Structure 1
Amino acid sequence: MEPGRVEVVDLNFPGLVLQDGPGVNPANVGRQCPHGVILKVVSTNICGSDQHMVRGRTTAPPGLVLGHEITGEVIETGRDVEFVKAGDLVSVPFNIACGRCRSCKERKTGICLNVNPDRPGSAYGYVDMGGWVGGQAEYVMVPYADWNLLRFPDRDQAMAKILDLTMLSDIFPTGFHGCVTAGVGPGSTVYIAGAGPVGLAAAVSAFLLGAAVVIVGDLNTERLAQAASFGCATVDVSLGDIGSQIAEILGEPEVDCAVDAVGFEARGHAPDAAEAPAAVLNTVMEITRAGGSIGIPGLYVTGDPGAADDAAKVGSLSIRIGLGWARSHAFFTGQCPVMKYHRQLMMAILHDRVQIAKAVNAVPIPLGQASDGYRTFDAGAARKYVLDPHGLLGTTERSGRDDMAASRPVTRT
């Protein structure tokens, strides 16, 4: 509703036409979607990227319907939908992609050219992404359904693993993409900056890709403990030089590759340090070996009204590009192209090769408690809140509140 305030309100049932509303690009108003479907939302997650908007760190307008991590059941199909059927249980990539443009044909679905009149790339419920209505709701419309949706092969099997499968819409592929672009492979040593849900998903992904040692760095001790719970080494960046701490783990102060899972709201490496948006990028250059790669799934923006200086307000940061150049680093940025990975990761979940929900400490709560979930997550809870609009995950209003009351938030990073 405004910076610092999230509410659950009644809205009209979605249709297969993009209506005018908060954040909807004028060129998209009235857009017909006979290729779309209506989903009954089974699960929809609160994401750290949503928090940037809620904190007032973007140009998101009041009244924007949030939510880009969506899993649901198809209840209505448009005239032009051929292969997706009512009753299908599906995962929705957070990137909206047409399947027809040059980018989509090159598997770069994060920068589709046809869904956002302002620039390449789009997402549900997100600022400057075309105005497609978000899925933190009971029902949502998904365009280009045959192309975008990932259908789960068996409904009962999927519901038994739904807390894992709900991570396929964003954070699991995003963390995996960060590791793939960083060059993680068998025997790699990997540093992951940030122990939030994306950082933890990246850590799980690094192990899945065969890394020998995964080191997670953060200021938040609760989140570091969560990383350690599934085998990560950890670095508390407030305790001193990160390279020296890595040397205590590896015997040398460098790693083969690194992943920035923090993004533009990074802080300096001290308990009470001020915001320093280039801090993580500069750190990973210092501790990544010459010739190594750095995956950057952490979000960076072109408009940040809450930034500490005028340069950062337009996304201009004091990055030590000379250091990266001298060390021949490769940098990979941008939205994860979810469709490139989500089927393989689904199979890893369904066949018990990975337990992503346990790793990120997924906690389902009713939709009515969304504002509580936002507050607790923003305070630094080592949890990934999953909204349950229809009670299909077994949540109740009381049990969800008891769960959040038991959480002990610490300083966020």
Structure 2
Amino acid sequence: MAGNRAVVYLKPGEVEVQDTNYPELILRDGPGVNPLNVGRKCNHGVILKVVTTNICGSDQHMVRGRTTAPSGLVLGHEITGEVVETGSDVEFIKKGDLVSVPFNIACGRCPSCRRQDTHICENVNPDRPGSAYGYVDMGGWAGGQSEYVMVPYADFQLLKFPDKDQAMDKILDLTMLSDIFPTGYHGAVSAGVKTGSTVYVAGAGPVGLAAAHSAQLLGASVVIVGDMIEERLAQARSFGCETVNLREHDDLGEQLEQILGVPEVDCAIDAVGFEASGHGENGGEAPATVLNSIMGATRAGGRLGIPGLYVTGDPGAEDADAKEGTLKIRFGLGFAKAHTFVTGQTPVMKYHRDLMKAILSGKANIAKAVNATLISLDEAPEGYKQFDGGVSKKFVIDPHGLVRS
């Protein structure tokens, strides 16, 4: 039987490529696997040969030690691959198909899935609604930063690319369909972006850049991106965004007024999450900063899309409240301004087919927007280090050397 290699979380700040078991169509015991999930048969699943798999900022939270992720966890929830084995219950997905895997694991049968709320599937994670590959407290499904991975509920979940050769030509764009493109798009849709909107995006990491590109696709008149790292802001400017350096300028409203003539926007998107920093040169860790700043910067009656990750447990937080996800949010400000808040994982399946068509038609150029950068599986640990240092790249792992450079 073929072997497998994967990126494994060891301890805060350290990942390693290790030999691992070849996947089976059953959920075996291992690091992070909920006991109630052990032995779960997945005849409805497939085995994929991973073509591309991406490093995500959510992975980085775990690698920094900011979650309760166990040592030995195989990482990776952004997966694109070729089907090499199908379970006995799989009817429509075939061997040889090239597919995108939504990072949400969803059964297609529960009330949430029937409402298209595949981000809160009720049957795949005994801990709480919602699941994902290679992620802490998400049921223990093995991650996809590997050579091979098992994907359950294949007929329901998988997005098959219509033409393999065409897909491989655009694979650096299509690989973003598993998470960050739908996540950025969901942030923009949740914020109510429409033709003519003025939009503020907090964070110029890959999800923030995807949100900014999505806002442009939705017809925004001006997209302003704020961050504290100039290299990331330069990447946002490369595809037509205005930018605000929040390390140099701590008054967001003043900076918005210089760009727009008024100190507020129609819509705002939080693409930072709980590892936020206070604005200004000496701003330290302040996890509620982004939420409070976008409430202040969004017009009355506006909407706030919040795809940035917030957690129920943060062992690396600086105060006791934040360790359990309790943040000092100015909720009264949001109430007074009648804001709408939309939070939670992204229901990828609501968006991924339409975004695929936008990519294949040339309308969306997400790889360029996020600076997709190809690396090998063995280069993944160095990719994590560079990403943690703030480099403006979206690292795409090519485990088998299948992507034409």
1:14 matches 2:23: yes
Partner in structure 1 of residue 364 of structure 2: 354
Deviation at 1:354, TM superposition (A): 1.0
Structure-2 separation of matches of 1:251 and 1:30 = 60
Partner in structure 1 of residue 385 of structure 2: 375
Deviation at 1:308, TM superposition (A): 0.8
Deviation at 1:200, TM superposition (A): 0.1
Per-residue deviation, residues 359-391 of structure 1 (Å, max 9, x unmatched): 000001000111000000100000000000000
1:262 matches 2:262: no
Structure-1 separation of matches of 2:282 and 2:189 = 33
Query: What is the 5 A alignment of 1:334-349?
Result: 334-349=344-359
1:232 to 235, 238, 241: 241
1:124 to 118, 133, 136: 133
1:196 matches 2:196: no
Deviation at 1:394, TM superposition (A): 3.9
Structure-2 separation of matches of 1:291 and 1:217 = 22
Partner in structure 1 of residue 4 of structure 2: none
Structure-1 separation of matches of 2:364 and 2:311 = 32
Structure-1 separation of matches of 2:318 and 2:281 = 18
Partner in structure 2 of residue 154 of structure 1: 163
Structure-2 separation of matches of 1:231 and 1:280 = 23
Amino acid at match of 2:77: H
Deviation at 1:271, TM superposition (A): 2.9
Same amino acid, percent of matched pairs: 72
Deviation at 1:240, TM superposition (A): 2.9
Amino acid at match of 1:94: F
Structure-2 separation of matches of 1:372 and 1:99 = 37
Amino acid at match of 1:14: P
Question: How many matched pairs?
Answer: 395
Query: What is the 5 A alignment of 1:11-410?
Result: 11-238=20-247, 239-394=249-404
The answer on whether the counterparts of 1:73 and 1:89 sit within 8 Å (CA) in structure 2 is yes
Structure 2 unpaired stretches of 5+: 1-9
Structure 1 unpaired stretches of 5+: 396-413
**Any idea what SS the aligned residue of 2:119 has?**
helix
Partner in structure 2 of residue 401 of structure 1: none
Deviation at 1:245, TM superposition (A): 0.6
TM-score, with normalisation over the residues of structure 1?
Answer: 0.95
Amino acid at match of 1:292: G
**Any idea what SS the aligned residue of 2:100 has?**
strand
Structure-1 separation of matches of 2:190 and 2:290 = 17
The answer on whether the counterparts of 1:52 and 1:58 sit within 8 Å (CA) in structure 2 is yes
Deviation at 1:156, TM superposition (A): 0.4
The answer on whether the counterparts of 1:219 and 1:271 sit within 8 Å (CA) in structure 2 is no
Structure-1 separation of matches of 2:116 and 2:277 = 34
Deviation at 1:187, TM superposition (A): 0.2
Structure-2 separation of matches of 1:174 and 1:282 = 21
Amino acid at match of 1:130: G
Deviation at 1:331, TM superposition (A): 0.2
Structure-1 separation of matches of 2:395 and 2:190 = 27
Deviation at 1:273, TM superposition (A): 1.6
TM-score, with normalisation over the residues of structure 2?
Answer: 0.97
Deviation at 1:237, TM superposition (A): 1.1
Amino acid at match of 1:195: A
Structure-1 separation of matches of 2:158 and 2:198 = 34
More strand by share: 2
Per-residue deviation, residues 185-243 of structure 1 (Å, max 9, x unmatched): 00000000000000000000000000000000000000000000000000111223110
4+ runs deviating over 2 angstroms: none
Structure-1 separation of matches of 2:364 and 2:154 = 27
**Any idea what SS the aligned residue of 1:291 has?**
strand
Deviation at 1:18, TM superposition (A): 0.4
Deviation at 1:272, TM superposition (A): 3.4
Deviation at 1:13, TM superposition (A): 0.4
Amino acid at match of 2:272: V
